[in-house]
């Protein structure tokens, strides 16, 4: 094994030197890395071709709310005002402090540069979605470069980047309007890249790059993603230090890297201090910062603030849903296309999930081939500190994502980590395992390739791998064949007993079962071919080129087929669908201009909650996850007439309409 300097001391690396052979050997070596990154980007663009080249649009509900406030932000920009107070929802709300609306500050040139480059690429392709899709490409390039620093071959680093970008729920974010998540995740590989380089030796270049990456992460304004990033960076330091102490090697390198990270974090937070300090100041006055005036039975929220425990943990992952890592359709998947008797042959895309969460858009599927090679890599390279770190964050994120379903770790964070109770949807924590699995898979494939070149290691790997591969494929195949006889009845009963599944007609329940079984067989088949190729490669039946070519192709097929399921594209944009200027809107705007008297509306029609804000109309039927507590208390106590039960968001009490200066009630629009 070779050694590399780390503050003058040796550190074990994965191999003597990077293996330069790869699938693109016909390309001059100096262009190969760029070629692989270009191919990865091309695959992403082809995947989203329907929205990029066919005048398509993503129209998920989470895209609607930010669109509602675009005219307000544009008006503020033209007038030279910095937007802080949003007058159109909740009778007025501190939009800046709630991380809802924001303006540009002159010192944001790094993060603004990232946004502007993405915006220019989107404008070049004529697609607003490309602005966010660019972040996936940058993320894939980051994973490729990080893998190369761990001595991965270029083709294996390419496989790693594909596995990362096409991880099902990660690539679903852009489809459902969670646009700040890919921006935040995009920075992770670059931060770890800089930490690895700074651990070896101090560099002003990597220090500057680390500051920029951390700054962009913080400016993503997705606080929960930032928190999970901090957890990952902290666990990286802990694992590296413990590993160094056990091996009795120097720890100066990791201490230096973490010191630079602390400085980068401090500078980045200082550059965003006005936003985050405003957010912290607002929090005690929001629904995330204090208890409601009227509690329901069993509510665990108290005066210290944070979400109610049950509300915060609604989107908890569950141990039994780990089976979707292997069979993504096991719980109905999420958003899928149905075409059958119930729709007279017409294709519709609906939410077909019947697990224990209220709903979800997709399974957290990371690829069966990626998963198996990740497990193999974690075991084969278990003595490597970085592999140990990837395993630790995988277990950590999985345990934390269970939320109320297995609350050993989650409750520690809720009750003892400051402000953690202001987060919801524990399943978001799975982002760390989705980051780690492709890298671990790369380690697994690299181990096979390096073992092949050593006769003694190849014989051991051959024997071990064939046994491991045969056991995995055989077990999955036997379970699939036996399931119709021994598991179908309980499966169908569980579906019918679930909150979502019970609403499906019998024909649809049968379709979901049949789709799940088909998915199971396809998954096992893809894995069998990939593992068979690996075994044949170890036994020198096929060449390295054939093995890696087939492996990469099957990873792409596996990830593509699943990740494309929630890909719903509309021919009409959000503005065309939800922000058309109707006669009603025109009348309200004219009345507002003529009378010069402020008034609000209550709309009970088809308009999305915040849509009237797009037209400069103040409304009381709105949505935000951190609305003001006093407003929510009013809705809870007086939202409905006396003797009637309200729903906590709609205002149906005429007295409250008058109190809130409602002039018009809109219905059927």
DSSP state of 597: -
Positive/negative CA dihedral, 227, 229, 230, 234 = positive
- Cα(512)–Cα(495) distance, integer angstroms: 9
Summarised one tens digit per residue, pLDDT across range 42-81 is: 999 999 998 888 778 887 777 777 888 888 888 888 888 8
Nearest to 60 by CA among 361, 317, 333, 311: 361
Nearest to 562 by CA among 256, 119, 210, 168: 168
Mean pLDDT of 531-546: 90
Q: What angle do CA 221, 222, 227 make, to 5 degrees?
A: 115
For 220-364, where are the alpha helices, taking DSSP H only? 223-247, 252-271, 273-282, 309-312
Which of 570 and 646 is assigned the larger pLDDT?
570
- Predicted confidence at residue 635, as pLDDT, reads 83
Which of 333 and 637 is assigned the larger pLDDT?
333
Distance of CA 577 to the CA centre of its chain: 26
DSSP state of 86: B
CA distances (Å), 307 to each of 139, 278, 413, 629, 630, in order? 32, 19, 13, 11, 15
> Given a cut of 80, is residue 182 above it in pLDDT?
yes
Summarised one tens digit per residue, pLDDT across range 296-342 is: 544 555 555 667 788 889 899 999 999 999 999 999 998 888 888 88
Nearest to 583 by CA among 668, 468, 643: 668
- Cα(640)–Cα(10) distance, integer angstroms: 70
> Worst-scoring range by mean pLDDT, 178-182, 226-230, 426-430, 647-651?
647-651
Q: Which of 86-100, 554-568, 597-611, 638-652 has the highest mean pLDDT?
A: 554-568
Measure the CA dihedral 41/46/47/53, to 10°.
Answer: 120
Q: Which residue has the tokens 């106590």?
A: 637
> Given a cut of 70, is residue 238 above it in pLDDT?
yes
Measure the CA dihedral 131/136/139/141, to 10°.
Answer: -100
Percent of residues, the chain, with pLDDT higher than 90: 49
Q: Is 65 exposed, middle or buried (0-12, 13-18, 19+ CB in 10 A)?
A: buried
For 126-222, where are the alpha helices, taking DSSP H only? 130-149, 154-165, 168-176, 180-186, 188-200, 204-219
Instruction: Determine contact, residues 17/2, Cβ cutoff 8 Å.
Output: yes
φ and ψ at 601, to 5 degrees?
-125, 155
User: How many helices (DSSP H) and strands (DSSP E) are in the chain?
Assistant: 27, 7
Summarised one tens digit per residue, pLDDT across range 7-33 is: 444 344 343 344 446 788 888 888 999
- Predicted confidence at residue 624, as pLDDT, reads 79
Mean pLDDT of 340-351: 84
Mean pLDDT of 275-297: 77
Mean pLDDT of 595-601: 82
CB atoms near residue 493 (< 10 Å): 11
Which of 451 and 256 is assigned the larger pLDDT?
256
Instruction: Determine contact, residues 122/128, Cβ cutoff 8 Å.
Output: yes
> 137 falls in which pLDDT band (50, 70, 90)?
very high
Summarised one tens digit per residue, pLDDT across range 72-117 is: 888 888 888 888 888 888 888 888 888 887 777 767 767 777 777 7
Which of 393 and 457 is assigned the larger pLDDT?
393
Distance of CA 342 to the CA centre of its chain: 33
User: What is the pairing mode between strands 9-12 and 3-6?
Assistant: antiparallel
CB atoms near residue 425 (< 10 Å): 17
């Amino acid at each position: 094994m070779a050694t590399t300097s780390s503050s003058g001391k040796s550190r074990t690396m994965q191999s003597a030197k990077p293996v330069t052979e790869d699938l693109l050997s016909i390309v001059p070596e100096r262009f190969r890395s760029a070629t692989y990154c270009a191919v990865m980007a091309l695959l992403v663009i082809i995947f989203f071709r329907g929205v990029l080249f066919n005048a398509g649009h993503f129209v998920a509900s989470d895209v609607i709310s930010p669109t509602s406030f675009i005219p307000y932000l544009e008006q503020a920009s033209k007038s030279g005002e910095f937007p802080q107070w949003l007058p159109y929802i909740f009778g007025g709300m501190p939009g800046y402090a709630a991380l809802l609306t924001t303006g540009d500050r002159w010192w944001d040139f790094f993060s603004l540069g990232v946004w502007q480059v993405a915006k220019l690429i989107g404008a070049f392709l004529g697609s607003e979605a490309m602005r966010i899709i660019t972040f996936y490409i940058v993320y894939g390039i980051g994973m490729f470069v990080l893998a190369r620093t761990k001595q991965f071959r270029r083709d294996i680093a390419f496989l790693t980047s594909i596995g990362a970008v096409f991880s099902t729920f990660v690539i679903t974010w852009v489809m459902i309007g969670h646009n700040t998540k890919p921006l935040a995740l995009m920075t992770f590989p670059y931060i770890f890249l800089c930490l690895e380089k700074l651990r070896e030796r101090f560099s002003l270049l990597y220090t500057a790059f680390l500051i920029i990456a951390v700054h962009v992460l913080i400016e993503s304004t997705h606080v929960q993603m930032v928190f999970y990033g901090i957890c990952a960076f902290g666990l990286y330091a802990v694992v590296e230090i413990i590993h160094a102490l056990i091996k009795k090697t120097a720890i100066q390198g990791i201490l230096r890297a973490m010191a630079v990270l602390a400085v980068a974090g401090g500078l980045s937070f200082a550059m965003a201090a006005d936003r985050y300090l405003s957010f912290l100041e607002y929090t005690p006055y929001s629904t995330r910062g204090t208890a409601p005036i009227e509690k329901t039975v069993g509510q665990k929220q108290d005066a210290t603030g944070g979400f109610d425990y049950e509300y915060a943990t609604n989107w908890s992952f569950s141990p039994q849903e780990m089976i979707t890592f292997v069979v993504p359709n096991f719980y109905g998947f999420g958003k899928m296309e149905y075409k059958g008797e119930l729709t007279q042959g017409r294709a519709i895309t609906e939410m077909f999930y019947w697990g224990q969460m209220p709903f979800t858009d997709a399974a957290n599927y990371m690829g069966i081939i990626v998963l198996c090679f990740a497990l193999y890599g974690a075991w084969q390279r278990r003595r490597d500190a970085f592999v140990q770190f990837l395993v630790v964050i995988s277990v950590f994120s999985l345990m934390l994502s269970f939320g109320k379903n297995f609350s050993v770790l989650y409750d520690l964070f809720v009750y003892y980590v400051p402000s953690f109770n202001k987060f919801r949807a524990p399943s978001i924590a799975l982002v760390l395992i989705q980051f780690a699995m492709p890298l671990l898979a790369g380690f697994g494939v690299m181990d096979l390739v390096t073992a092949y070149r050593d006769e003694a290691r190849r014989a051991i790997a051959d024997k071990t791998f064939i046994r491991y591969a045969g056991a995995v494929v055989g077990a999955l195949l036997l379970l699939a064949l036996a399931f119709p006889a021994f598991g179908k009845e309980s499966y169908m009963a569980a579906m019918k007993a679930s909150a979502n599944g019970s609403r499906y007609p019998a024909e649809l329940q049968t379709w979901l079962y049949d789709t799940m079984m088909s998915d199971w067989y396809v998954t096992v088949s893809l894995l069998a071919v990939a593992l068979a190729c690996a075994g044949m490669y170890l036994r020198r039946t096929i060449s390295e080129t054939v093995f890696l070519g087939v492996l990469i192709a099957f990873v792409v097929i596996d990830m593509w087929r699943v990740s494309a399921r929630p890909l719903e594209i509309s021919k009409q944009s959000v503005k065309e669908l939800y922000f058309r200027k109707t006669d009603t809107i025109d009348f309200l705007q004219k009345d507002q201009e003529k009378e010069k008297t402020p008034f609000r509306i209550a709309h009970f029609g088809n308009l999305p909650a915040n849509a009237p804000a797009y037209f400069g109309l103040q409304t009381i039927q709105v949505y935000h996850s951190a609305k003001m507590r006093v407003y929510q208390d009013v809705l809870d106590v007086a939202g409905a007439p006396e003797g009637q039960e309200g729903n906590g968001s709609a205002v149906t009490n005429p007295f409250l309409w008058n109190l809130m200066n409602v002039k018009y009630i809109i219905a059927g629009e």
